[in-house]
Chain A
Amino acid sequence: MPTVSMTVNGKSVSGEVEGRTLLVQFLREQLRLTGTHVGCDTSQCGACVVHMNGDSVKSCTTLAIQADGADVTTIEGLADGDTLHPMQEAFRDNHGLQCGFCTPGMVMSAVDLLQKNPKPSEHEIREWLEGNICRCTGYHNIVKSIQQAAGA
């Protein structure tokens, strides 16, 4: 089996994977970073979004070997100890989460949005979130959360 090495949340890690092993499986099952979730099997729901080399990717449609040598950040790597990232804080302030299952992917996706578009309009936020499904919130408070994080 091939060995992959990458940096995950600032730490160097490596492990043996099958060719078909997905990045999300490597993160969850080998590294036990279970904050990244799997909500579908067609790359639609976005519960699995992580950052790879600074960009948001769906880790359920990224092979672990594609991430070889990459710098990966998961939801576990976002906060600074007990100090939440401003996006996490904004979700908490605005009740941008309920059951919490879509939340890691939603937050990681939202962080990437503001990297690429620091002052998005409501329309731009809603369009960006097209690849992240939430069944609980109706998105209302997720949009508010992202607006707060953007300083709107």
Chain B
Amino acid sequence: MPDTAGGPSGIGASVKRVEDFRFLTGNGNYTDDIDRPGQTYAYILRSPHAHAKIASLDTSAAKAASGVVAVFTGEDMQVGSLPCGWQVHSKDGTPMAEPEHPPLAKGKVRHVGDQVAVVIADSYAEAKDAAEKIEVSYEELPAVVDMASALASGAQKVHDDLENNLCYDWEIGDVAQADEAFAKAAHVTKIDIVNNRLIPNAMEPRAAVGEFDRSTGEYTLYTTSQNPHVIRLLMGAFVLQIPEHKLRVVAPDVGGGFGSKIYHYAEEAIVTWASAKVGRPIKWTAERSESFMTDAHGRDHVTHAELAMDADGKFLAFKIDTQANMGAYLSTFAPCVPTYLYATLLAGVYTTPVIYCNVRAIFTNTVPVDAYRGAGRPEATYLIERIVDRAARETGIGQTEIRRRNFIPSDAFPYQTPVALQYDSGDYEATLSAAMAEAKVDGFAARKAEAAARGKHRGLGFSTYLEACGIAPSAVVGSLGARAGLYESAEVRVHPTGSVTIFTGAHSHGQGHETTFAQLVADRLGLPMENIEISHGDTNKVQFGMGTYGSRSLAVGGEAIVKATDKIIAKAKKIAAHVLEASADDIEFKDGNFTVAGTDKSMAFGEVALTAYVPHNFPHEELEPGLDETAFYDPANFTYPGGCHICEVEIDPDTGIVEVVGMTAVDDVGRVINPMIVEGQIHGGLAQGIGQALLETCVYDENGQLVTGSYMDYTMPRADNLPSFSVGTESTLCAHNSLGVKGCGEVGAIGSPPAVINAVVDALWDLGVRDMSMPATPETVWKAIQDAAPAAAAE
């Protein structure tokens, strides 16, 4: 129950979360908690090789094993390919290479973890035991693991039917114009950057329960998804050919997503398809080791960039060449991440007039790579803020001064960048100043000296960033290759006694929509929060939805709710006008009451609702009974949160251990509905950003074996790796949505990694360290100090 006693519940209040009671008492309902009558269990046999032909596959012993209901292979499962939702075209106009992606491998496996067969049994243990009886003969092929060797001539092809391992060769901007600007530059800063591959690691492993109802012919899939309607569309239309009215997809409580649960995965199709074959429900739940080798990974860019400046340090042009790893197959949104979510962000918060970026997307024998918290914008931000940091050092202009000289001024909005986006609002000086005050930058020199006296190296790093979220205007993304619209829908169903259910196409998997959306509706309809229910995650309840990712839920989903409530209020005014014998134009709606202006004649919201459903005295000639409205909202633009992150680190030169001693974030996320929830979102993003900078990386060996395949190998941020954070907001309002909201889900992960690494470089600069790769592990840092020591001595 929401605890609103003693505090306001409207916009701007830190209302405690509605969803917490069930989560805190063990009453959450996650996919693996769902058991269906007669349920069986699936275990998926996966490839132990990065690249191999399946020479033979014998399932007969497994089929005969105790408890086994069925065993299926790729030969049995003749269905459509797992589809890709975004088509990028190369600079020569040709469409990207789009290889087939069968749910169960057909003849060949292309990454460790690729699905080979599924065993369905009465218990999970029996399914897993039986899988050991499947005899697979693999003919191993050379694995293509890193992007440079994947592009080399004569490289082993990941897909035999493609010309090579290039998915696309895309560009944005005019290279000749960029070269011209570089020719006039007083100074050029160059940098080589690797944006390390990450494994998302939502704490809830993916799970799926498929069920076929023979009496109705309807399939139901319970799944760990951020967007159940998208899964229904992709799986129904492209893979299994099940029409929407015969396919229900339910995403109940979902234990974190961070992008990794956007995509349509093979296991969803396998349990749905096989449930009809075996005539019983089938549950599959990933073991964590399966999550590591099947959840879409994130990042994985290799980039060379050059920044041209005039004598005053004004940026003249920015040239970027990026290689982006797609993995073995194209995941649902993979192609758009290193193009339209990355290269269009390369202006950042600066007035750089000319930008040229070339992106080559490459297939390798690794897990598919797709959007992970921030998706393209962290890669862009890391690149920009690292090269700006370097430029400041090379020119001697100083970290804050070089940024200020190049900021888009606060009076320049709307601001058209050279890379397609038009920013609607922002004030980058305001967030920088506020963050500097909060981080006590003035006192840094004294703190550095004090640390030095203790033998520690202290560094300060800045990141002034911007991102594009609130994804996205359908017509724009359609012109860029999206195969879907990116609007959102909402239904406001007023019940006869005046309580309200909101059906939203957004999906909450930690974001607290049941609270924030209820606050929004409480504010607009003047109702107590306990009279409002937020319903999401079930295609049989919610009319339609594109789901939650790209920090879009409030900016797009919330606007749809606003539109639907506006329709409710407009109709309710007409009903009230009829009963109160006034003109609808004279009805004022405030604090849940409809009042004839200038009189004491009034009807409460509940009375209007009852009148709508018991329409004895009702304007039947003008209106239909009932009070239930649906709206779809398609945004006019992306939203553009931005801000400043400042990191302070202390490094022990003997061990190379980097301690984050201060992490300050001042972000412009637009209007804030629930500050407590917004701060929580930023905390989580910061932890993931610090994780990328200092702890996390996905490692494959030269054979394509996943070395970081468990929590003993992949370093998740733990409580003792992180400091307490200092977060604040300094907001300008979004100019194109009615709420003025921008989005807060990803800013922490986008802004922070370069602040951390710039702080590490700052701490070690005087030792001669000039660069630092992510993650800056103790080993990496210690080696950098050792390698720099002789060079520094020689200088």
Q: Which residues of A contact B (CB under 8 A)?
A: 18, 20, 28, 32-42, 44-45, 47, 74-76, 78-79, 84, 88, 91-93, 95, 97-104, 107, 122-123, 125-127, 129-130, 132-143
Task: Check if B5 is an interface residue, CB within 8 A of chain A.
Answer: no
Known A92-B20, A98-B512; contact A42-B718, beta-carbon cutoff 8 A: no
CB distance from A140 to the nearest CB of B (A): 4
Inter-subunit contact A135/B680 (CB<8 Å): no
Inter-subunit contact A40/B711 (CB<8 Å): yes
Given A138-B683, A139-B687, 17 new contacts (CB under 8 A): A32-B35, A35-B26, A38-B32, A39-B288, A40-B710, A44-B712, A91-B24, A92-B17, A95-B677, A98-B684, A99-B509, A101-B202, A101-B203, A107-B24, A135-B202, A135-B687, A138-B748
Inter-subunit contact B255/A101 (CB<8 Å): yes
Task: Check if B201 is an interface residue, CB within 8 A of chain A.
Answer: yes
Tell me the bound Cα distance from A98 to B516 in angstroms. Answer: 13
Tell me the bound Cα distance from A137 to B510 in angstroms. Answer: 9
Name the residue on B nearest A9 (C-beta). Answer: B26
When each residue 705-742 of chain B gets 1 if its CB lies under 8 Å from chain A and 0 otherwise, what string results?
00000111000111110101100000000000000000
Task: Check if B33 is an interface residue, CB within 8 A of chain A.
Answer: yes
Inter-subunit contact B203/A95 (CB<8 Å): no
Contacts of A137 in B (CB 8 A): 680, 683-684, 687
Q: List 8 A-B contacts (CB under 8 A).
A: A39-B205, A44-B712, A95-B680, A103-B23, A133-B711, A136-B203, A137-B684, A143-B724
Contacts of B687 in A (CB 8 A): 135, 137-139
8 closest residue pairs by CB, A with B: A35-B26, A101-B255, A100-B23, A138-B687, A99-B510, A44-B711, A98-B510, A75-B26
Tell me the bound Cα distance from A35 to B24 in angstroms. Answer: 9
Inter-subunit contact A35/B27 (CB<8 Å): yes
Contacts of A33 in B (CB 8 A): 26
Contact of A34 (CB < 8 Å), options: B26, B679, B686: B26
Query: Binding site of A, secondary structure by majority: helix, strand, loop or mixed?
Result: loop
Known A33-B26, A75-B26, A143-B724; contact A92-B16, beta-carbon cutoff 8 A: yes
Q: Which of B20, B510, B683 has the most CB of A within 10 A?
A: B20
Known A34-B33, A100-B23, A129-B719; contact A141-B680, beta-carbon cutoff 8 A: yes
Task: Check if B125 is an interface residue, CB within 8 A of chain A.
Answer: yes
When each residue 662-694 of chain B gets 1 if its CB lies under 8 Å from chain A and 0 otherwise, what string results?
000000000000001101110111111000000
Known A92-B16, A133-B203; contact A99-B719, beta-carbon cutoff 8 A: no
Inter-subunit contact A74/B288 (CB<8 Å): no
Q: Which residues of B contact A (CB under 8 A)?
A: 3, 16-17, 19-30, 32-33, 35, 125, 201-205, 253-256, 258, 285, 287-289, 509-512, 676-677, 679-681, 683-688, 710-712, 716-720, 722, 724-725, 748
Inter-subunit contact A97/B20 (CB<8 Å): yes
Inter-subunit contact B676/A39 (CB<8 Å): no
Inter-subunit contact B204/A101 (CB<8 Å): yes
Contacts of B25 in A (CB 8 A): 35, 75-76, 78-79, 84, 88
Name the residue on B nearest A84 (C-beta). Answer: B24
Contacts of B680 in A (CB 8 A): 95, 98, 136-137, 141
Name the residue on A nearest B674 (C-beta). Answer: A95
Contact of A40 (CB < 8 Å), options: B288, B677, B724: B288
CB distance from B341 to the nearest CB of A (A): 21
Contact of A99 (CB < 8 Å), options: B125, B203, B724: B203
Known A18-B125, A101-B256, A138-B722; contact A37-B24, beta-carbon cutoff 8 A: no
Tell me the bound Cα distance from A17 to B28 in angstroms. Answer: 26
Name the residue on B nearest A102 (C-beta). Answer: B203
Tell me the bound Cα distance from A107 to B23 in angstroms. Answer: 11
CB distance from A33 to the nearest CB of B (A): 7
Inter-subunit contact A100/B255 (CB<8 Å): yes
Inter-subunit contact A133/B716 (CB<8 Å): yes
CB distance from B777 to the nearest CB of A (A): 17
Contacts of A142 in B (CB 8 A): 719
CB distance from A137 to the nearest CB of B (A): 6
Contacts of A38 in B (CB 8 A): 32, 205, 285
Q: Which of B27, B33, B718 has the most CB of A within 10 A?
A: B718
Contacts of A136 in B (CB 8 A): 203, 256, 510, 680, 684
Tell me the bound Cα distance from A138 to B718 in angstroms. Answer: 8
Tell me the bound Cα distance from A41 to B740 in angstroms. Answer: 44
Q: Which of A97, A100, A122 has the most CB of B within 10 A?
A: A100
Inter-subunit contact A98/B511 (CB<8 Å): yes
Known A35-B28, A95-B677, A136-B256; contact A122-B724, beta-carbon cutoff 8 A: yes
Contact of A20 (CB < 8 Å), options: B26, B29, B125, B712: B125
Name the residue on B nearest A79 (C-beta). Answer: B25
Inter-subunit contact A45/B711 (CB<8 Å): yes
Tell me the bound Cα distance from A78 to B256 in angstroms. Answer: 24
Inter-subunit contact B24/A130 (CB<8 Å): no
CB distance from B223 to the nearest CB of A (A): 15
CB distance from A119 to the nearest CB of B (A): 18
Tell me the bound Cα distance from A76 to B153 in angstroms. Answer: 60
Tell me the bound Cα distance from A129 to B721 in angstroms. Answer: 11
Inter-subunit contact A93/B16 (CB<8 Å): yes
Inter-subunit contact A134/B203 (CB<8 Å): yes
Tell me the bound Cα distance from A98 to B744 in angstroms. Answer: 14
Inter-subunit contact B722/A139 (CB<8 Å): yes
Inter-subunit contact A135/B256 (CB<8 Å): yes
Tell me the bound Cα distance from A42 to B287 in angstroms. Answer: 10
Contacts of A140 in B (CB 8 A): 683, 722, 724-725
CB distance from B689 to the nearest CB of A (A): 9
Inter-subunit contact B204/A39 (CB<8 Å): yes
CB distance from B34 to the nearest CB of A (A): 9
Q: Which of B681, B683, B717 has the most CB of A within 10 A?
A: B683
Tell me the bound Cα distance from A47 to B27 in angstroms. Answer: 14
Contacts of B205 in A (CB 8 A): 38-39
Contacts of A133 in B (CB 8 A): 203, 711, 716, 718
Contacts of B686 in A (CB 8 A): 138
Name the residue on A nearest B748 (C-beta). Answer: A138
Contacts of A18 in B (CB 8 A): 125
Contact of A100 (CB < 8 Å), options: B19, B287, B710: B19
CB distance from A113 to the nearest CB of B (A): 11
Name the residue on B nearest A21 (C-beta). Answer: B125
Inter-subunit contact B256/A76 (CB<8 Å): no
Contacts of B676 in A (CB 8 A): 95
Contacts of A34 in B (CB 8 A): 26, 29-30, 32-33
Tell me the bound Cα distance from A140 to B204 in angstroms. Answer: 20
Contacts of A122 in B (CB 8 A): 724
Tell me the bound Cα distance from A68 to B285 in angstroms. Answer: 27
Name the residue on A nearest B1 (C-beta). Answer: A82
Inter-subunit contact A99/B202 (CB<8 Å): yes
Contacts of B21 in A (CB 8 A): 84, 92
Known A40-B710, A42-B711, A102-B203; contact A97-B256, beta-carbon cutoff 8 A: no
Inter-subunit contact A42/B288 (CB<8 Å): yes
Tell me the bound Cα distance from A32 to B683 in angstroms. Answer: 33
Contacts of B203 in A (CB 8 A): 37, 39, 45, 47, 99, 101-102, 133-136
Q: Which of B19, B26, B716 has the most CB of A within 10 A?
A: B26
Tell me the bound Cα distance from A20 to B129 in angstroms. Answer: 13
Q: Which of B17, B25, B29, B688 has the most CB of A within 10 A?
A: B25
Contacts of A79 in B (CB 8 A): 24-25
Contact of A41 (CB < 8 Å), options: B33, B288, B509: B288
Name the residue on A nearest B689 (C-beta). Answer: A138
Contacts of B720 in A (CB 8 A): 123, 126-127, 129-130
Name the residue on A nearest B676 (C-beta). Answer: A95
Tell me the bound Cα distance from A39 to B725 in angstroms. Answer: 26
CB distance from B219 to the nearest CB of A (A): 24
CB distance from A103 to the nearest CB of B (A): 5
